[in-house]
Amino acid sequence: MHRRAAVVVACLLASIARAQAPCHAENDGPNFADGVSVSGAYIGIQFVAPAHFSATELEVFTGETNTTMGLQLRAHDANANRPAAILSGGTMVVGQANGWYRAQLAAAVPLLAGQTYWFVWNTGSGGQSSLDTLNSGLGQPYTPSFDGGQTWGSLFQFSDRHWKFRIFGLCAGTPVNFCTSGTTSAGCTATISASAQPSVSFAQPCSLTVSGVEGQKTGIIFYGLTQLPQPWCVLGGGSSFLCVKPPTMRSAPQSSGGTAGACNGQLTLDWNLFQSANPAALGAPWVAGDKAYVQGWFRDPPACKTTSLSDAVELTYVP
């Protein structure tokens, strides 16, 4: 089933987050300032998202107390250079042991690469601080709040205040190739690539290129929502594989260009432009975490079924 209820998605993303490395972490090595405790204030720590991803859980290093603490992600007030609206939050039960404690967010938060956000910690009182004092240089900019995050104090940045935190979620990473390219009758092996993961908000370009196509051939780029690596010609031989399970959707036919008989042709597709021009396309409306499996197909008359195919690439939608 392509779409799921919000609660199911939240649970799924949480389970994914627990099984992988954090999407973003700062100062999360083994060192910590054992002699420093926290005072009970809210602490807002500024950070910049390194990539597009959806945050589902937050972690902070603490301990030495028995209490419930809260963690939040907040937007950035650029004018005041302070935390702004709460994007989502969650709570965690902290014990005496020093270590990483995790709060699951009430809702997934899409973070955009290069944008400033705030990791906010409701510290409780008397717990272990989440600091790595062995790192060099200045730590992150941070600010305290003594009224539950309603107002924020001065902005600080010190060499002994390197805050330790982690953000887990759906880390899309880079597009992943799979399946096997066919070898054409002229000995060409076509390979597909994607410039970046697609964005739900079209926040970044996503271009697909099938290179190594025979020159002067007509071809298309097509996609589906499920992988299906199986031989293109089950009974007739041939080296191509169909890597995408129907139903599929395809681009308009195009010429590969290049030189006839050479392997210098290519097929291209502006994914964002194609999706915006086809709002009812297969898979739409997309949400962060959705996947599309894309492959190239082109004419090759001497080959089985008179066509050859590239390998395929798995795209994962980011915010």
pLDDT at 113: 87
Last residue of a domain, one of 118, 137, 171: 171
Q: Are 232 and 255 in contact (CB under 8 A)?
A: no
Averaged pLDDT score across all residues of the chain: 91
Same structural domain, 39 and 135: yes
Same structural domain, 163 and 180: no
Same structural domain, 143 and 206: no
**CA 273 to mean position of chain CA atoms:** 21
DSSP H stretches of helix in 221-304: 271-277
Same structural domain, 61 and 197: no
| Residue 215 reports pLDDT greater than 60 | yes
Residue 58 DSSP code:
E
Same structural domain, 69 and 47: yes
- Which residues form the domain of 310? 176-316
pLDDT at 162: 98
Q: Write the CATH number for 76.
A: 2.60.120
Instruction: Report the C-alpha gap between 97 and 208 in whole angstroms.
Output: 49
- pLDDT per position as a tens digit, 274-317: 999 999 999 999 998 899 999 999 999 999 899 999 999 999 99
Same structural domain, 159 and 182: no
Structurally, the chain folds into a number of domains equal to 2
Q: Quick one: pLDDT band at residue 195, thresholds 50, 70, 90?
A: very high
Q: Write the CATH number for 194.
A: 2.20.130
Q: Quick one: pLDDT band at residue 203, thresholds 50, 70, 90?
A: confident
Domain-embedded: residue 1: no
Same structural domain, 157 and 236: no
The model scores a pTM over 0.75: no
- Amino acid residing at 272: N
Mean predicted confidence (pLDDT) in 50-71: 94
Q: Are 38 and 127 in contact (CB under 8 A)?
A: yes
Last residue of a domain, one of 171, 190, 212: 171
| Residue 267 reports pLDDT greater than 50 | yes
Same structural domain, 237 and 127: no
Mean predicted confidence (pLDDT) in 83-110: 96
Q: Are 2 and 283 in contact (CB under 8 A)?
A: yes
> Which H/E stretch holds residue 202?
none
Same structural domain, 214 and 154: no
Domain-embedded: residue 58: yes
Q: Are 251 and 269 in contact (CB under 8 A)?
A: yes
Same structural domain, 165 and 185: no
Q: Give the count of beta carbons closer than 10 Å to the beta carbon of residue 246.
A: 10
Q: Are 55 and 111 in contact (CB under 8 A)?
A: yes
